[in-house]
Amino acid sequence: MNTDKTHTILRILDANLNRLQEGIRVVEDIFRYVYDNKEITYTLKQMRHKAILQHTDLLLQARDVECDIAKGSIDTEIERLDLAAILHANFHRICESARVLEECLKLKECQKFGKSQTFKSLRYEAYNLHVIANKIIVDNACK
């Protein structure tokens, strides 16, 4: 892979790893501090600790926030209606980022950073957890 393409792929890995970890943390903190749900909080903490890549020094070297053409927010990202909306947005963020990482890590030149299967598993774990979390959100809204 040429250097420009490598740099581009590393930026994708870096951005999506950050997005994945941040999304997990947002959901984790809401279930920890708002819902006091030890089981989901612990599951999310485990997920966050699985959401790692090797050679993060290379990812950091590729990071270029100043030149990121999509670093601004769009209208639908600026305001959330309630905690449920924040949770749903972050579950989607988790799943989308895990999918990007899963696909990129299938590239031969990216396999040294981690295993595609790890992020596929995290994605499916997030799908299942989103369903459970939604039930908790709905149950709490009815109280």
Q: What is the pLDDT of residues 54-81, one digit of tens each?
A: 998 888 887 666 665 555 555 555 666 7
Domain boundaries along the sequence of the chain? 3-69+82-141
The CATH number of the structural domain formed by 3-69+82-141 is: 1.20.1260
The pTM for the full model equals 0.86
Mean pLDDT by 10 residues, the chain (143 residues): 71 95 98 96 98 91 64 58 90 98 96 97 98 90 69
pLDDT at position 72:
59
Cα distance between residue 142 and residue 93, in whole Å: 26
